Amino acid sequence: MAASRVSSGARTSASRGSSGARSGSTSHGSSGARSGPASRGGAADGASTPWLVVGLGNPGDKYAASRHNAGYLVIDELLADLLPAPGSLAQHRKTNSLICQTRFGETPVVLARPRTYMNESGSPVANLAKFFKVPAHQVIVIYDELDLDPERVRVRMGGGDHGHNGLRSITKAMGTKDYARIAVGIGRPPGRMDVASYVLKPFSKAENAWLPIAVADAADAARACVQQGVEAGMRYAESRG
């Protein structure tokens, strides 16, 4: 069903760099986390308006450990780190999604996964934003990126889809490019391997050595975006190399 959380064996304390506190609560609890100072273009505007953090991937056991499901893994990480206890996803029929309503510090957040396949992600994401009244600039989409070196994480606001079918679908459904993206680098396929085959295959043994760190960094970047603003998320990701 859902992608499983990455094992933490390769994760180090360095992955918890400067992003701030662990966050939130269970899906129905009250927040117990510290929140960072707001910066321009970020958390100050979203103190009462929720943020929507969406991890992209494909549903089903067949794809659970695939490179294309990096976004799912980051949502798993965010759920596991919620305070006072790990959170869980529940079905949201009106948007064809799985969600957890929580808080990062004092800021309400909806963590979500579309229940559709990657190239049909747009409708669930647009419907979630509409249902929870989330403006586009407070939508964060987490996805796998071919044109980013493995292990690296990048945060940006707006821009093109870089050939990513999930982003293309979301941009079309939302009618705007002006939402935040957190990319988890998976690199290009070796040799002449077909791209579609590459992204749908499981992470290799070598990749699993760095994957927990990259997933933790992406989760920290998402928290920084929500609590301190997207620019803070960008700086955090850049600081991680």
Catalytic (active-site) positions? 68
Give the torsion through C-alpha atoms of 173, 177, 183, 185, to 10 deg.
90
Q: Which two tokens stand for residue 88?
A: 């869980």
Q: Which two tokens stand for residue 179?
A: 């939402």
User: In the chain, how many H helices and how many E strands?
Assistant: 6, 7
Is beta strand 139-145 parallel, antiparallel or unpaired with respect to 107-114? unpaired
Q: CA–CA separation, 92 vs 70, rounded Å?
A: 22
Instruction: List the strands of the sheet with 90-92, edge to edge.
Output: 90-92, 97-104, 107-114, 51-55, 139-145, 180-185, 153-157
